[in-house]
Homo-oligomer: A and B are copies of this chain.
Amino acid sequence: MTTRLTLDQCGLNTGKKTRLHRILYRHGLGNGTALFLPYDQGLEHGPRDFFANPDAASPRYIIRLALEGGFNGIAIQIGLAEKFYWDYAGEVPLILKLNGKTEIPSDAEALSPLHATVADAVRLGADAVGYTLYVGTPAQERDFAQLQAVRRDAQRLGMPLIVWAYPRGAAIAAKGGKDSFYAVHYAARTAGELGADMVKVNFPHPEKRTAVPAPYDREYSTGNAVEQVVRAANRTLLLISGGAKAGDDAMIEKASESMAGGATGLIFGRNVWQRPWPESLRFVTRLRDVLAKYPTV
C-alpha cells in the first residue's frame, strides 16, 4: 500500500513549510491534498482556448471559479496577478507562474523564459512559484540555469517551488513521446534531483513503448506506473495534470488512479473551465470527492 508523503518529510525550511501548510491545510479540503487551477493558457496557447467558454477569457471569472470551487490555489502569470489578484488577495492561494512562452515560434529548442521573480511573488503575497522545465529539450543548458537561479531565490525567501516537469524535444518524441511512462518517470526524478518542492507531471502512459529504454518495454498497469512516478519524485510532492479537455469519466478515473498511486493532488485547467460555470462546478465536485478519499494527516 502506498504511504502518502507528509510535509515533515520534505526537507522544507520554515518559510516553505508555512506556505505549503497554508495551501494544503487551510484551503481546499484542508486534508493535505491539493486541487490547483492553472490559468496560463492565454499565454501558452493564446486566446483560442477561450472560445469554448468566452467567460473564461476573464481572469476575474477564473479566480471566482477557484474560490467557489474550493481550489487550493490558482497559477497565473505576473501581469494577471498584478491586475486581478488584489480583489481576492488571501482568499485563495496565489501560485505565481514565473516563466512561460507563446506557442507561435518553433518549439524545436523549447525553453520557457522568465517573466517574474521569486521576489515578485513575495511582494504579491503568493504562496508558491511555478516554473516550467522542459526535460529533454536541446535548450537544457539554459533551462537548468534559469531553474537554478529560481531555486536559490526560493530557498532564500522560503517560497515553495513547483516545477511543471514537461518532457519535450526530438529525443523525447522519438522515444515513446512526452507522456510515455519513460518520459514522465524521468521528468519526475529530474525535478526532485534539482530541488523542486512539488512537481507537476502528465498522467503516464505505460503503453507508449516505441523505442523506450529496455526496462520500460514491458507491460505495466497505469496504477503501477503512477506509483513508480510518485516514487521517482522522492519526497517531492507530486501533482498530476489533466491536460487537454477530455471525457469527464475518463478524467475522474485518472484522478482516482493518481491519488491511489500516492499523488498529493491534481491540477486541472481546461477540463474545468472550458464549459459553463455550473458544469465546471459539478466537475470540480467530482474531483473533490476523489481527493476526500486520500487525506494526509
14 CB < 8 A contacts A-B: A11-B84, A42-B189, A42-B232, A43-B190, A48-B214, A57-B234, A78-B195, A79-B236, A101-B141, A102-B140, A104-B135, A104-B140, A104-B167, A104-B169
Number of A interface residues at 8 Å Cβ cutoff, please give it.
73
Residue of B nearest to A136 (CB): B104
Taking the complex as formed, is A196 at the interface, i.e. its CB lies under 8 A from any CB of chain B?
A: yes
Taking the complex as formed, is A1 at the interface, i.e. its CB lies under 8 A from any CB of chain B?
A: no
Q: Measured between alpha carbons, how far is A189 from B100 in the docked complex, in Å?
A: 13
- 9-residue interface stretch from A22-30, A110-118, A288-296: A110-118
Chain copies in the assembly?
Answer: 5
Determine the main DSSP class of A at the interface with B.
Answer: helix
Residue of B nearest to A49 (CB): B215
**Could you say which residues of chain B place their CB within 8 Å of the CB of A9?**
83
C-beta contact mask, A191-235 vs B, less than 8 Å → 1, else 0? 111111000000000000000011110000000000010011011
Taking the complex as formed, is A254 at the interface, i.e. its CB lies under 8 A from any CB of chain B?
A: no
